[in-house]
Amino acid sequence: MSGSASAREFSRYLDAIVELTRQQDSQELLGALLGTLSKSVQARRVSMFALSNPDHDSDFNESNIQHAMVTDLFDAEFGEPRRLGDDPDLVASVCSGKVLSRETPGGRRVVFPIAGRRHVRALLVIEERGGESLPHDLLAKLLQVYSNQTMMLSRSELDPLTGLYNRQTFDDRIRRVAQRAAARRRAADGPVAAGICFALFDIDHFKQVNDQFGHLYGDEVLTLLARLMVQSFRHEDHLFRYGGEEFAVVLANADLAIAGAALERFRRTVEAFAFPQIGHKTVSIGFTALDAGQGVERAVMCADKALYYAKNHGRNQTHCYEALVAEGRLEPVTQTKGDVELF
């Protein structure tokens, strides 16, 4: 390779680093990476497969990874979760933590693992078609810069105790899910699966844990509950520690019936789980639909009313706001002043 070609590669590499490190938001960072790759890589297709919450798993190996789910982050509107085990190249790269490269009928397929806190958290897949691209070693280093920047930004987006999204990221995340649902509806030729539901829940009698066992045991309950959430909900659902012992879930592509079934399964999972030293705890859950034109503040108020109905009528229950209103057990929430429409 000529000196001028090497200089061009190095210049593109430095430009990419500058662009990645100037981003202050994880979604903007992802967009910057996609823009960089589109300029630097000659490819038929570029995909970024995110693994379902890998940093909550104890270990990755070829037996338990087969059932992990991945979603193409670059297919922002229509990417659907799929089984990692359906793609042997992805499995091999996750388990080895190394770049995988092989010839294909149309050129070459390269899989770059992207590290998380403890495990591979994503995989960049490039279907090369030839031409002048950044060499694989430079691309691997660029992805390490992206990974480092992602982990740095996540400190402001994630709750440090549970690893779930924190309250500060809630409004932004719920709007992104709503925008994606709206895009699906616009692009669909026929009926599509229903939109979005929002749930709030908290741990029943949590104060007793702190009072009787101390805050360290209380923190362990919160951490273990977060793990149960990760195991119980889908990758496309967004999980939050909403505050204290209160948690929230944004269920994507789910109507009230689907959401109610998923939330009730989760309630039973928590009820059956034995927390070390503590024993069994329960949660009370309230949920509502997020419809086009409905604002975030109103959705929170509706779910909150259903939650407190559950807590005031025996706890360890799952209640739907719309059902409670239809049955005359709750007064409907009126549109809140200053609320912002989702889309």
**Alpha-carbon span 252 to 237, nearest angstrom:** 5
327 in helix, strand or coil? Answer: coil
User: Does the CA dihedral 153-154-158-162 come out positive or negative?
Assistant: negative
DSSP letter (8 states) at residue 274: E
Q: What is the 3-state secondary structure (H, E, C) of 19-69?
A: HHHCCCCHHHHHHHHHHHHHHHCCEEEEEEEEECCHHHCCCCCCCCHHHCE
* Residue from 75, 69, 10 nearest 235 by CA: 69
8 Å CB contact between 247 and 240: yes
**Alpha-carbon span 297 to 23, nearest angstrom:** 28
Instruction: Given the residues 132, 157, 220, 245, select the one marked as catalytic.
Output: 245
DSSP letter (8 states) at residue 332: P
- 245 in catalytic set: yes
First and final C-alpha spacing in the chain: 51
Catalytic residues: 245
